[in-house]
């Protein structure tokens, strides 16, 4: 195992959580007598009846999900003939269950049940999402395996739906794809609002009140990011393409999202002319508030594009982990929003951190070289900001 993982195991053994996830630390401390963490597979398997496979499945260069870690875990189970079931929680493409069955059979575990139990929790809300899910999906090879996995969810407050394995795998992919579709759709409507004089806030509210459509995931903005939507939508697109089907809608959903981030740069250019030699402040770096995760964050695309245009990039974020990779090594980090905007020609609200509502924007305006503010999350009041003297731009609002 890699060093970083042994560090994480050490932290967990001492009751510390190596990631930011509200409520998780308390849960680990509360259950410390029932939990153990180890790097040793044999130790982990010694008394196990059910094994959950939760490794990540990053994209390959072809955009497919890389399942090598899943196979490696399954192979490491060889000899654990006492197991009752193996459950895959990792995000995997449809068809993984069938291949996993062969790997388990080859490892002499033909008698061990197999289930897909996909993950639907969101970062920053993982504990409450897990305990109060809209549904628990179990795709199982047989009724006994399904029963075992269902029994493990006793005390979890949500409907359990049992189905075949490929459908469970697809349910997970389709759920994320539909959520991403809703956001790209509302972002496209927001862009049309800008050209026609409608206000996306009012439009989203009116659309969302139709119970058939639902009010969630209709918040227009700078585009979706994170470790899930970008990777999962691409993996589903590739899965479809590998079968010879061209997923037109999904492809458009991804493209709208890519363009949405670049649109912010164009809006700044419209205001500032060239970005060469300008100073631009990025307010919020994580892919959403309430997490320290910067994977596939829109901020990275903005920072790269700004640097490519010759701008200097100044950043603020309350939780983001410093990353020693481009584009971040070419930017400057600031402890406060006021420091970050000092001398800036424009600022972009990239992540809707609640702290940004509390900023003394009048003071910020005075510190900036030019008062251009692009609110990529429609966090602030347009009239208030204009009254403070900002050239205030947002997404889909007149």
Q: How far apart are CA 129 and CA 288, in angstroms?
A: 17
Residues 324-345 as b or e (16 or more Cβ within 10 Å = b) = eeebbeebeebeebbebbbebb
User: Which is closer to ligand UGA, CB of 165 or CB of 179?
Assistant: 179
Active site residues per annotation: 228
CB of 324 to ligand UGA, least distance (A): 23
CB of 293 to ligand UGA, least distance (A): 8
CB of 124 to ligand UGA, least distance (A): 7
User: Which is closer to ligand UGA, CB of 228 or CB of 347?
Assistant: 228
Kindly tell me which residue out of 23, 25, 66, 119 binds ligand UGA, with binding defined by CB under 6 A. 119
Tokens 């900036």 belong to: 368
User: Which is closer to ligand UGA, CB of 41 or CB of 174?
Assistant: 174
Told to check if 183 binds ligand UGA by CB under 6 A, we report yes
Kindly indicate which of the ranges 9-17, 215-223, 266-274, 309-317 contains the residues binding ligand UGA, using the contact rule CB under 6 A.
215-223
Q: How far apart are CA 79 and CA 108, in angstroms?
A: 7
Kindly tell me which residue out of 101, 288, 314, 397 binds ligand UGA, with binding defined by CB under 6 A. 288
Kindly tell me which residue out of 93, 113, 133, 221 binds ligand UGA, with binding defined by CB under 6 A. 221
- Specify the long-range contacts of residues 356-359, CB closer than 8 Å, at least 24 apart: 356/283, 356/284, 356/380
Told to check if 226 binds ligand UGA by CB under 6 A, we report yes
Kindly tell me which residue out of 41, 48, 83, 121 binds ligand UGA, with binding defined by CB under 6 A. 121
Cβ–Cβ under 8 Å, residues 302 and 339: no
Told to check if 67 binds ligand UGA by CB under 6 A, we report no
Cβ–Cβ under 8 Å, residues 77 and 104: yes
The sign one gets for the Cα dihedral 339, 340, 345, 347 is negative
Kindly tell me which residue out of 287, 316, 361, 392 binds ligand UGA, with binding defined by CB under 6 A. 287
Strand blocks (E) in the chain: 50-53, 85-88, 113-116, 135-140, 159-163, 279-283, 312-316, 332-333, 346-349, 372-375, 391-394
Kindly tell me which residue out of 51, 85, 112, 218 binds ligand UGA, with binding defined by CB under 6 A. 218
CB of 221 to ligand UGA, least distance (A): 4
Q: What single-letter DSSP state applies at residue 329?
A: G
DSSP lists the bridge partners of residue 281 as 314, 347
Kindly tell me which residue out of 93, 97, 113, 225 binds ligand UGA, with binding defined by CB under 6 A. 225
Kindly indicate which of the ranges 17-25, 146-154, 224-232, 303-311 contains the residues binding ligand UGA, using the contact rule CB under 6 A.
224-232
3-state secondary structure of 333: strand
Binding site for ligand UGA (CB under 6 A): 119-123, 176, 179, 183, 217-219, 221, 224-226, 228-229, 232, 287-288
């Amino acid at each position: 195992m890699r060093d970083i993982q042994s560090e994480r195991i050490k932290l967990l053994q001492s009751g510390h959580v190596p990631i930011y996830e509200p409520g998780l630390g308390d849960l680990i401390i509360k259950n410390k007598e029932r939990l153990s963490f180890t790097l040793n597979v044999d130790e982990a398997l010694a008394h196990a009846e059910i094994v959950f496979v939760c490794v990540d499945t990053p994209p390959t260069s072809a955009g497919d999900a890389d399942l090598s870690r899943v196979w490696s875990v399954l192979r490491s189970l060889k000899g654990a003939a006492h197991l009752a079931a193996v459950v895959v929680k990792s995000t995997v493409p449809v068809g993984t269950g069938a291949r996993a069955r062969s790997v388990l059979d080859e490892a002499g575990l033909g008698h061990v049940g197999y289930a897909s139990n996909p993950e639907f929790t969101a970062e920053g809300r993982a504990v409450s999402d897990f305990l109060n899910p809209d549904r628990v999906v179990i795709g199982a090879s047989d009724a006994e395996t399904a029963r075992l996995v269902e029994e493990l969810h006793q005390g979890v407050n949500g409907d359990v739906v049992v189905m075949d394995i490929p459908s469970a795998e697809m349910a997970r992919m389709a759920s994320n794809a539909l959520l991403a579709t809703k956001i790209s759709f509302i972002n496209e409507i927001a862009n049309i609002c800008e050209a026609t004089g409608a206000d996306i806030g009012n439009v989203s509210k009116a659309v969302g009140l139709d119970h058939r459509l639902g009010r969630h995931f209709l918040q227009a903005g700078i585009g979706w990011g994170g470790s899930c939507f970008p990777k999962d939508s691409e993996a589903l697109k590739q899965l479809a393409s590998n079968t010879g089907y061209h997923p037109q809608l999904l492809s458009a959903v991804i493209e709208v999202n890519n363009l949405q981030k670049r649109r912010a740069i164009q809006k700044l250019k419209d205001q500032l002319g060239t970005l060469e030699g300008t100073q631009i402040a990025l307010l919020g770096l994580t892919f959403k508030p309430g997490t320290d995760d910067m994977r596939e964050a829109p901020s990275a695309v903005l920072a790269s594009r700004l640097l490519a245009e010759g701008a200097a990039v100044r950043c603020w974020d309350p939780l983001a982990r410093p990353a020693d990779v481009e584009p971040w090594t070419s930017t400057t980090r600031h402890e406060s929003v006021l420091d970050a905007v000092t001398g800036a020609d424009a600022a972009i609200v990239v992540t809707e951190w609640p702290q940004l509502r509390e900023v003394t924007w009048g003071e910020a305006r005075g510190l900036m070289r030019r008062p251009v503010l692009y609110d990529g999350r429609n966090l602030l009041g347009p009239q208030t900001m204009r009254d403070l003297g900002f050239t205030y731009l947002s997404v889909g609002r007149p």
